[in-house]
Amino acid sequence: MRNAALWLDSRFGLEEHTIAHYAWVIVGIAGIVQMVGAAIRMAFGVLVDPLVAAFGWSPGSIGIAYALMSIITALSSPLAGYLGNRYGARRTMTAGTILFFIGMMWTSQTKEIWELYAAYGIVFGVSQALLLVPVVPAVASWFRRHLGLGTGIMMVSWSLGPALVVQALAVLFATVGWSEAFMIVGIVGTVILITILLFFRNTPEEAGRIAYGTKKTDNPLITSGNVFVSTQKEFQRYVYKTNAFWNLINIHFLGCVGHAVILVGIIPLGISKGLGPLAAAGVLTTISIVSVATRFAAPVLAERMSPKLVMFVSFFGQGLGVFLLFTANSTLDFYIFAVVWAIPFGGEGTTFPVMIRKYYGHTPMGTTYGWQLLGAGLGMALGGLLPGMVFDITGGYGWAIGLSGAFSLAGAVAILLLENPRRQLIPNWPEMEMTPDGAVGDSRTTVSQTEISPASGD
Amino acid sequence: MKSAASNQPTVVSTPNLQGFEIKRRPIVGLGLLMSSVIGSLAVLIYFGAWASTDRIEIRVLAAEISGLQAEGEWWEDGLIFACPLH
Give all domains of chain A, ordered by start, each with its CATH number.
20-204 (1.20.1250.20), 235-431 (1.20.1250.20)
User: In sequence order, what are the residues at sequence separation of 6 or more whose Cβ sits closer than 8 angstroms to the Cβ of residue A218?
Assistant: A144, A431, A456
**How many angstroms separate the CA of residue A363 from the nearest CA in chain B?**
13
CB contact A432 to B (< 8 Å)? yes
Of residues A115 and A20, the one with the higher pLDDT is: A115
Closest CB to B26 among A225, A246, A392: A246
pLDDT bucket at A226, cuts 50 / 70 / 90: confident
Of residues A360 and A15, the one with the higher pLDDT is: A360
pLDDT bucket at A280, cuts 50 / 70 / 90: confident
Residues of B in contact with A205 (CB under 8 A): 5, 8
CB contact A410 to B (< 8 Å)? yes
Which residue in A219, A220, A218, A215 sits closest to A204, CA to CA? A220
Domain-located, residue B55: yes
Domain-located, residue B2: no
Over residues A84-102, mean pLDDT: 95
A63 exposure class (CB count in 10 Å sphere: 0-12, 13-18, 19+):
middle
State which residue of chain A sits closest to B40, comparing Cα positions.
Answer: A382
Give me the helices (H) in A109-177, please: 113-116, 124-132, 135-141, 147-176
What secondary structure letter does DSSP report for A457?
A: T
Over residues A236-258, mean pLDDT: 96
pLDDT bucket at A64, cuts 50 / 70 / 90: confident
What pLDDT score was predicted for residue A458? 31
Which residue in A138, A442, A210 sits closest to B8, CA to CA? A442
Contact A389 B51 (CB under 8 A): yes
pLDDT bucket at A165, cuts 50 / 70 / 90: confident
User: In sequence order, what are the residues at sequence separation of 6 or more whose Cβ sits closer than 8 angstroms to the Cβ of residue A58?
Assistant: A52
Count the Cβ atoms, other than its own, within 10 Å of residue A383: 27
Residues of B in contact with A382 (CB under 8 A): 40, 44
Do the Cβ atoms of A221 and A231 come closer than 8 Å?
no
**Which residues are bridge partners to A434 per DSSP?**
A440
CB contact A223 to B (< 8 Å)? yes
Domain-located, residue B46: yes
What pLDDT score was predicted for residue A442? 44
Is A444's pLDDT higher than 50? Answer: no
Domain-located, residue B54: yes
What pLDDT score was predicted for residue A432? 72
**How many angstroms separate the CA of residue B61 from the nearest CA in chain A?**
17
Residue by residue, DSSP assigns A1-35 as: -HHHHHHHHHHTT-SSS-SS-HHHHHHHHHHHHHH
Over residues A232-260, mean pLDDT: 94
What pLDDT score was predicted for residue B15? 56
Do the Cβ atoms of A300 and A149 come closer than 8 Å?
yes
Please give the model's pTM, rounded to 2 decimal places.
0.86
pLDDT tens digits, residue range B45-81? 999 999 899 888 888 888 777 766 777 788 889 999 9
A residues 94..113 contacting B (CB < 8 A): none
pLDDT tens digits, residue range B28-48? 999 999 999 999 999 999 999
3-state secondary structure A253-318: HHHHHHHHHHHHHHHHHHHHCCCCHHHHHHHHHHHHHHHHHHHHHHHHHHHHCCHHHHHHHHHHHH
CB contact B41 to A (< 8 Å)? no
Residue by residue, DSSP assigns A351-400 as: SHHHHHHHHHTTS--HHHHHHHHHHHHHHHHHHHHHHHHHHHHHSSSHHH
Give the number of domains in chain B. 1
What pLDDT score was predicted for residue A3? 76
Do the Cβ atoms of A89 and A135 come closer than 8 Å?
yes
**How many angstroms separate the CA of residue A111 from the nearest CA in chain B?**
29
Do the Cβ atoms of A135 and A93 come closer than 8 Å?
yes
pLDDT bucket at A446, cuts 50 / 70 / 90: very low
What pLDDT score was predicted for residue A435? 55
- Which range marks the domain in which residue B39 is found? 35-70
Radius of gyration of chain B (CA): 29
Which residue in A106, A80, A108, A82 sits closest to A94, CA to CA? A80
Is A91's pLDDT higher than 70? Answer: yes
Closest CB to A430 among B15, B21, B26: B15
Over residues A311-333, mean pLDDT: 96
Is A443's pLDDT higher than 60? Answer: no
Looking at chain A, the whole-number percentage of residues with pLDDT higher than 90 is 55
Q: What span, in angstroms and rounded, lies between the C-alpha atoms of A27 and A169?
A: 25
Q: What span, in angstroms and rounded, lies between the C-alpha atoms of A170 and A181?
A: 9
State which residue of chain A sits closest to B53, comparing Cα positions.
Answer: A393
What pLDDT score was predicted for residue B2? 47
Contact B12 A223 (CB under 8 A): no
Domain-located, residue B50: yes
3-state secondary structure A78-113: HHHHHHHHHHCHHHHHHHHHHHHHHHHHHHHCCCCH
Closest CB to B28 among A389, A417, A447: A417
pLDDT tens digits, residue range A116-140? 999 999 999 999 999 999 999 999 9
Domain-located, residue B58: yes
Contact A208 B43 (CB under 8 A): no
CB contact B85 to A (< 8 Å)? no
pLDDT bucket at A412, cuts 50 / 70 / 90: very high
What pLDDT score was predicted for residue A282? 86
What pLDDT score was predicted for residue A106? 94
Residue pairs spanning A and B at CB distance below 8 A: 133
Domain-located, residue B13: no
**How many angstroms separate the CA of residue B67 from the nearest CA in chain A?**
26
State which residue of chain A sits closest to B9, comparing Cα positions.
Answer: A225
Looking at chain A, the whole-number percentage of residues with pLDDT higher than 70 is 90
Taking the CA of residue A330 as centre, how many other CA atoms within 13 Å lie in the half-sphere pointing to its CB? 3
Over residues A336-353, mean pLDDT: 95
Helix or strand or coil: residue A410? helix
Contact A417 B12 (CB under 8 A): no
A126 exposure class (CB count in 10 Å sphere: 0-12, 13-18, 19+):
buried
3-state secondary structure B9-35: CCCCCCCCCCCCCCCCCCHHHHHHHHH
What pLDDT score was predicted for residue B8? 54
Q: What span, in angstroms and rounded, lies between the C-alpha atoms of A276 and A262?
A: 18
CB contact B14 to A (< 8 Å)? yes
Angular region, B7: left φ>0, alpha ψ -120 to 50, beta rest: beta
Contact A443 B12 (CB under 8 A): yes
CB contact B28 to A (< 8 Å)? yes
Over residues A376-380, mean pLDDT: 92
Domain-located, residue B23: no
CB contact A210 to B (< 8 Å)? yes
What pLDDT score was predicted for residue A428? 85
- Helix (H) or strand (E) run with residue A431 in it: strand A431-434
Best A423, A443, A448 residue to mutate vs chain B (most B CBs within 10 Å): A443
What pLDDT score was predicted for residue A43? 67
pLDDT bucket at A67, cuts 50 / 70 / 90: confident
Residues of A in contact with B43 (CB under 8 A): 386, 403
Residues of B in contact with A390 (CB under 8 A): 47
Q: Which of A4-18, A75-89, A363-377, A418-432 has the lowest mean pLDDT?
A: A4-18
- Mean model confidence pLDDT for chain A: 87
Contact B1 A445 (CB under 8 A): no
What pLDDT score was predicted for residue A93? 96
- Helix (H) or strand (E) run with residue A454 in it: none
pLDDT bucket at A431, cuts 50 / 70 / 90: confident
CB contact A444 to B (< 8 Å)? yes
